[in-house]
Amino acid sequence: MDIIIIEGLAFALPLFIIAIGGIYSERSGITNLALEGFLGFGAFIGAAAVTAFTRGNVAGIEVQMFFVALLFSVIGGAVFAMLHALLCIPFKANQVISGVVINILAVALTAFFTSQINSVIFGKPTNKFVLGVCEKFTVPGISKIPILGAFFTDVYYYVPIIIVVALFASYVLYKSRFGLRLRACGDNPHAVDAAGVDVSKVRFIAVMISGALSGLGGICFAYSISTSFSPSIYAGYGFLAIAALIFGNWKIGPTLGACLLFGFARSAGYKLAQVLELASTFSDIIMILPYVLTLLLLMFFSSTNRPPRALGEIYDKGKR
């Protein structure tokens, strides 16, 4: 049970911070299917920075490089998200098509640049960046409590960081003036414009925040799922985050519950495969449990969803 909780939490929280990024974008009115592209490109920038600083030798400085990777991943994700913002806001492109294209572009770019950078630095055109092992810590005392203590045992360094960022993001979205304007842009952008607020600017910032948070989640996946970055290690996780925010009705609290559900389903499936000593073919089938659960949840609860009223609509200032 402890392993299920530890590994489930390690998967759920990066997924949660990516989903919060999606909430910011979609509550502002911009449909965002590009979360997977954002998290992949952000993680690539963070991993490339670590490789450039250490030339592949991270032994003894894993913790320092971990924080370097986080910083550059946030910046890389935000900058890459500007592409989606530019296409959807000033150029008024179809937001769904833009998101799909950006996802494809991110995979192609990260695979190409990873192999090129490795060719220049190491002379080997591999598509992986070595990151090292992400350190873990255990909280003394409370970690001894049955079941509850598992939440404080072998905790990745990024877990408290994500919790703090999520709390701050929740405060900004629901308690700040900027958050009020952002949510209003997704429901009634013309009213926001009539109040003298630049709708396009608010939406542009929201999409960049989405990219920054996705980059943070992406590099955390790279450290927890593997000790290296590869364009293929988190295929599908961006769409799983989208499913979580839809199931959470575009609200941060319920979205956390959905992410925890997906995370524990994944870790339980992995543990079940180990206990039953299944062959790799059958264990792969069990690992699709989070995605099957996603389909079932969307099937039964999608009728109760209430998306932002202006979600996906191209804002035309002259239209009333």
Kindly give the pairing relationship between strand 136-137 and strand 129-130. Answer: unpaired
Residue 83: both structure tokens together: 């592409």
DSSP state of 137: E
In the chain, the amino acid numbered 162 is: I
Q: Comparing C-alpha atoms, which of 188, 220, 305, 248 is closest to residue 20? A: 248
Q: What is the CA radius of gyration of the chain?
A: 20
Give the separation between CA 271 and CA 286, rounded to whole angstroms. 10
Q: What share of the chain is helix, strand, coil (3-state, %, to 5)?
A: 70, 0, 25
pLDDT for res 318: 65
Give the separation between CA 143 and CA 119, rounded to whole angstroms. 45
Give the three-state DSSP class for 287.
coil
Q: Is 301 exposed, middle or buried (0-12, 13-18, 19+ CB in 10 A)?
A: middle
Give the separation between CA 100 and CA 89, rounded to whole angstroms. 16
Give the separation between CA 95 and CA 104, rounded to whole angstroms. 15
Q: How many residues does the chain have?
A: 320
Q: Report the first-to-last Cα separation within the chain, whole angstroms.
A: 56
Maximum CA pair distance of the chain?
A: 64
pLDDT for res 60: 64
Q: Comparing C-alpha atoms, which of 293, 208, 309, 209 is closest to residue 259? A: 293
Tokens 């049955």 -> residue: 146
215 with 38: CB under 8 angstroms? Answer: yes
How many CB atoms within 10 Å of residue 279? 9
pLDDT for res 70: 95
Which CA distances in Å does 69 have to 58, 209, 287? Answer: 12, 18, 28
pLDDT for res 64: 85
pLDDT for res 59: 66
Beta strands in the chain (DSSP E): 129-130, 136-137, 155-156, 228-229
298 with 243: CB under 8 angstroms? Answer: yes
Give the separation between CA 237 and CA 229, rounded to whole angstroms. 15
Per-residue pLDDT of the chain in tens (320 residues, 90 and over written 9): 677 888 888 899 999 999 999 999 999 999 999 999 999 999 999 999 998 888 767 766 777 888 999 999 999 999 999 999 999 999 999 999 999 999 999 999 999 999 998 888 888 878 888 887 777 888 887 877 877 787 888 888 899 999 999 999 999 999 999 999 999 999 999 999 999 999 999 999 999 999 999 999 999 998 887 778 888 777 789 999 998 999 899 999 999 999 998 888 888 877 777 777 766 666 666 667 777 777 777 777 767 778 899 999 888 776 65
